[in-house]
Amino acid sequence: MTPSADKSQQQRIEEVIRRALKTPASGMPAPLRMGSTPGWDSMGHMMVVMELEKEFGARFPPYILPQLVDVPSIAKALQRPA
């Protein structure tokens, strides 16, 4: 993946997380991370997962879900072969 495509994907992931947590961009500290980002706790996590799957047309296996704790880990999971 090229650096620009990488950045684009990262931005998309960030947008999806914000959308899932229903929080404006200004209301979230960077970097986005489960546990430190408001609303991204155990309950909010599944909302983030569902929104990511919808956006990227992916389907995360159950053992991946606990690992999706920040933008880099989500980007890495999205690059995994289905």
Partner 1 sequence: MPRVCLNQSDEGLRKSSHMLTLPIDTHLVAGLTISVAFSLALLTLPWIAKTRGLWLLSLIAAAFYYWREFVGFVLVGGISFLAVIWLSKQAPQARRWRYACFAMLVLVAVFTCGRLWHWDRLWYFPVTGPLALYSLGMWPVLRLITLFWEVGSGSVAAPLLSQYVLWICLPLTLGSPLLRWSQMPGVFLPKPAALKSALWWWEAAAASAKLAVGVSLAPGQALLASHWHSHFGLNAVATFLTGPFGFYLTNAGYLHWMQLLGGLCGINVPESYNYPIGRENISAFWMNWNMTATFVFRDYLFYNRWGGLTYNIYFNSILLFTLVGLWHAANFYWILWGFLHGLLFVTYLLWRKFGKNWSHLPLRGTRVANLAARLLTYFSVCMCWYLPSKILQKLAAL
Q: Which residue of 50, 72, 76, 79 would you call a contact of partner 1, by CB under 8 A?
A: 50
Total residues contacting partner 1 (rule CB under 8 A)? Answer: 14
Q: Which residue of 2, 3, 42, 57 would you call a contact of partner 1, by CB under 8 A?
A: 42
**Cα distances (angstroms) measured from residue 9 to each of 39, 62, 70, 72, 81:** 22, 22, 13, 10, 17
Quote the least distance from Cβ 46 to partner 1, whole Å. Answer: 6
Q: Which residue of 8, 41, 72, 76 would you call a contact of partner 1, by CB under 8 A?
A: 41
Residue with smaller CB distance to partner 1, 1 or 46:
46
The SS3 assignment for 43 reads: helix
**Amino acid in position 56:** F
Q: Phi and psi of 8, rounded to 5°? A: -60, -45
Q: What is the DSSP letter of 31?
A: S
Q: Is 63 in the site for partner 1 (CB under 8 A)?
A: yes
